[in-house]
Amino acid sequence: MKPLKKHANFAGPEGPVVLVIMDGVGIGHGDAGDMVAKATKPNLDWLKANSIVTQLKAHGIAVGMPSDGDMGNSEVGHNAIGSGRVFDQGALLVKRSVESGAMFEGDVWKSLSQSLGEESALHFIGLLSDGNVHSHIDILLAMLTRSKQDGVKKVRVHTLLDGRDVPPTSALQFIEQLENHLESINGEADFDYCIASGGGRLYITMDRYNADWPMIKRGWDTHVKGIGRPFASAKEAIETLRAETPGVIDQDLKEFVITRDGRPIGPIVDGDSVILFNFRGDRAIEISRAFDEPGLDTFDRGPIPDVKFAGIMQYDSDLQIPKTYLVSPPEIEDVMGEYLAISGIRQLAVSETQKYGHVTYFFNGNRSGKFSAQLEEYVEIPSDQLPFEQRPWMKGGEITDVILNSIQNRKHDFIRANYPNGDMVGHTGVNLAVEISVEVVDLCVGRLIKAIDAAKGILIVTADHGNADEMYELDKEGKPKLDGGGNPKSKTSHTLNPVPCYIYDPAGSANLRLTSHTDLGISSLAATVMLCLGFDPPDNYDPAIVEVG
């Protein structure tokens, strides 16, 4: 890798280039469920009238997902933004490996499935849905089928309930699909395949960025120790928990353990094998460490069972988490952060805990650490330990304070920041809170506009995917689907909508104009940033959104 070449006609702005990623703020249809359209946002409206404006693709093939029916997400979105190109992502890599049979012919699968004793079990832990963001139920079903073909007699499934990347109360749909598949396997003698435990993804097992290790402990106790409220079946557990907490959505359901004759059916014990079938990394790292890291002291695991553990992918290649995995992750090289570091650009990355890893680890192509300790500063603002709908402003003000301090003191040449509000609050399905979350981001952007004006920098405001822009499930005609009471069905998942992009150059030093390229995705943001900094983007990067006049 060589330093970037300076642009022949533009040396860069006097002030910094600031890239603002409004997580989950897409371009909706302006209907009743579009909280982005409903929000009062004078600053974004002002940018729309006074800057270069376009919209970008942020889902499907444009971000490396298998098809255009697949939502984008923050992980693949930040990969695309930071790398400047589109790489096949985990969902597609795993799908291809399963369909070709390559995963099952590998040494890891054979080791996990063929070395079990007569009483030992193969355990699968993961998110049970077809959201295709962290996992897909079809992958689990394929692995169960192959386990039977390979002669594995005893399998236990530990189900994490979604309600976030799929409809908020759809868990029983996936439980029924899984139970039917297990029943078909158990129809033959000597096979014992069943669900052993479960709980909501935001209550057990799927914490990220070390924000809530007690969540991991609850998952460990549930899956490994078999400690939790006992039920005869997952269906009974979900129906009971819903009845006891009216309005609860799947991601928040408490843990449960399936029992027979008063005893948990599937604790993880010595001699067992365990596969974590989530392919997205951020919410898989901590539970992987719990299985893989003997010296981990973040919570008391008690006696650690002697098991073989593997992730369906490696979630952090730098830290080797986990050590054993079934499918190799995408190899993302020559990312924007590294190019800028070797070109002498001072960089700041800032967000709160919920998205800190996205503007660092994922933005840098799934790489931990900095490219240059001297030129890069990473700032993490601890997130609140409260439900997002109770505090929709999150840490927007604090993130903005860090950016303003950098701009005013001329500390950095390039600043990237993520405001998580539209996404994290959007996942709650509480429309008033979602509307407020968008308004908070708008207020923050307004503060940045003034600072960019004073510093004569360039401001780029965009998003990684949609969420807050579509809070009701829509039918094929674009109308809200109704529940049994005639009310619109809440939607808590990401959308397939494009995202906005505003490029504001108050000094006009670059004389920017929209490029002739059309149909661009968020991967074009990297070349855009480089151009705005006064560099020629690499030839293999997706084209910039603007041209220098």
CATH number at residue 216: 3.40.1450.10
**107 and 253 share one domain:** yes
pLDDT of 226 higher than 80: yes
Q: pLDDT, tens digit, for every residue of 76-103?
A: 999 999 999 999 988 999 999 999 999 9
By percentage, how much of the chain surpasses pLDDT 70? Answer: 100
pLDDT of 485 higher than 90: no
Q: What is the DSSP letter of 314?
A: -
pLDDT the model gives residue 177? 98
- Which residue type sits at 119? E
pLDDT the model gives residue 509? 85
CB 21, CB 416: distance < 8 Å: yes
Q: What is the DSSP letter of 115?
A: S
pLDDT the model gives residue 318? 73
Q: pLDDT, tens digit, for every residue of 49-77?
A: 999 999 999 999 999 998 999 999 999 99
Task: List 274's β-bridge partners, or say none.
Answer: 123, 309
Looking up tokens 């499935």, which residue turns up?
A: 113
**337 and 290 share one domain:** no
CB 421, CB 392: distance < 8 Å: yes
pLDDT the model gives residue 58? 98
Q: Which of 299, 327, 355 is the last residue of a domain?
A: 327
Q: pLDDT, tens digit, for every residue of 233-292?
A: 999 999 999 999 999 999 999 999 999 999 999 999 999 999 999 999 889 999 999 999
pLDDT of 549 higher than 90: no
Query: Within a domain: residue 9?
Result: no
pLDDT of 468 higher than 90: yes
Nearest CA to 25 out of 1, 49, 48, 50 is that of: 48
pLDDT the model gives residue 189? 74
By percentage, how much of the chain surpasses pLDDT 90? Answer: 90
Dump strand ranges (E) for 235-345: 256-260, 263-264, 273-276, 308-313, 325-327
Residue 188 CB: number of other CB atoms within 10 A?
A: 8
pLDDT the model gives residue 209? 84
pLDDT the model gives residue 147? 97
pLDDT the model gives residue 316? 84
pLDDT the model gives residue 263? 97
pLDDT the model gives residue 486? 87
Q: Which of 327, 352, 368 is the last residue of a domain?
A: 327
Q: Is 378 exposed, middle or buried (0-12, 13-18, 19+ CB in 10 A)?
A: middle
Q: Is 373 exposed, middle or buried (0-12, 13-18, 19+ CB in 10 A)?
A: exposed
CB 127, CB 493: distance < 8 Å: no
Name the pTM for this structure.
Answer: 0.84
Rounded-to-integer distance, Cα 4 and Cα 343, Å:
6
DSSP 27-38: ---SSTT-HHHH
**411 and 483 share one domain:** yes
Q: Higher pLDDT residue, 418 or 331? A: 418
CATH number at residue 77: 3.40.720.10
pLDDT the model gives residue 510? 86
The mean of the pLDDT values for the chain is: 96
Q: What is the mean pLDDT of residues 322-339?
A: 94
Q: What is the mean pLDDT of residues 459-478?
A: 94
Q: Which of 280, 306, 327 is the last residue of a domain?
A: 327
Pairing of strands 512-514, 535-536: unpaired
Pairing of strands 256-260, 229-231: parallel
**264 and 373 share one domain:** no
pLDDT the model gives residue 445? 98
Rounded-to-integer distance, Cα 162 and Cα 35, Å:
22
Q: Helix count (H) and strand count (E) of the chain?
A: 17, 20
Between the CA of residue 448 and those of 13, 44, 451, 453, 461, what are the distances in Å?
16, 11, 5, 8, 10
Nearest CA to 363 out of 19, 54, 17 is that of: 19
Query: Within a domain: residue 7?
Result: no
CA 10 from centre of chain: 36
**58 and 166 share one domain:** no
SS3 55: strand
Whats the size of the chain, residue-wise?
Answer: 549
**356 and 316 share one domain:** no
Q: pLDDT, tens digit, for every residue of 382-420?
A: 999 899 999 999 999 999 999 999 999 999 999 999 999
Q: Which two tokens stand for residue 473?
A: 């499930």
**299 and 428 share one domain:** no
| H helix or E strand, kind and range, residue 504 | strand 499-504
Q: What is the mean pLDDT of residues 214-237?
A: 98
SS3 content of the chain, % helix, strand, coil (to 5): 35, 20, 45
At residue 367, φ and ψ (nearest 5 deg) are -125, 130
In the set 74, 288, 523, 524, the catalytic residue is 74
Rounded-to-integer distance, Cα 200 and Cα 161, Å:
5
At residue 35, φ and ψ (nearest 5 deg) are -75, -20
pLDDT of 310 higher than 90: yes
Query: Within a domain: residue 4?
Result: no
pLDDT the model gives residue 64? 93
Rounded-to-integer distance, Cα 488 and Cα 227, Å:
38
Structurally, the chain folds into a number of domains equal to 2
**For residue 415, how many C-alpha atoms fall within 13 Å in the half-sphere facing its CB?**
32
**258 and 118 share one domain:** yes
Query: Within a domain: residue 8?
Result: no
Domain of 374, in residue numbers: 14-87+332-548
Instruction: Give yes or no: 197 in active site.
Output: no
**262 and 396 share one domain:** no
Rounded-to-integer distance, Cα 259 and Cα 228, Å:
10
pLDDT of 105 higher than 90: yes
pLDDT the model gives residue 527? 98
3-state helix/strand/coil string of 125-160: EEEECCCCCCCCHHHHHHHHHHHHHCCCCEEEEEEE
Query: Within a domain: residue 1?
Result: no
Nearest CA to 460 out of 532, 513, 361, 410 is that of: 532
Angle 74-83/525-532 helices, nearest 10 degrees? 40
**458 and 317 share one domain:** no
Q: Which two tokens stand for residue 378?
A: 């990473």
Nearest CA to 251 out of 358, 76, 140, 133 is that of: 133
pLDDT the model gives residue 475? 85
Rounded-to-integer distance, Cα 430 and Cα 162, Å:
17
Handedness of CA 417, 419, 420, 422 (dihedral sign): negative
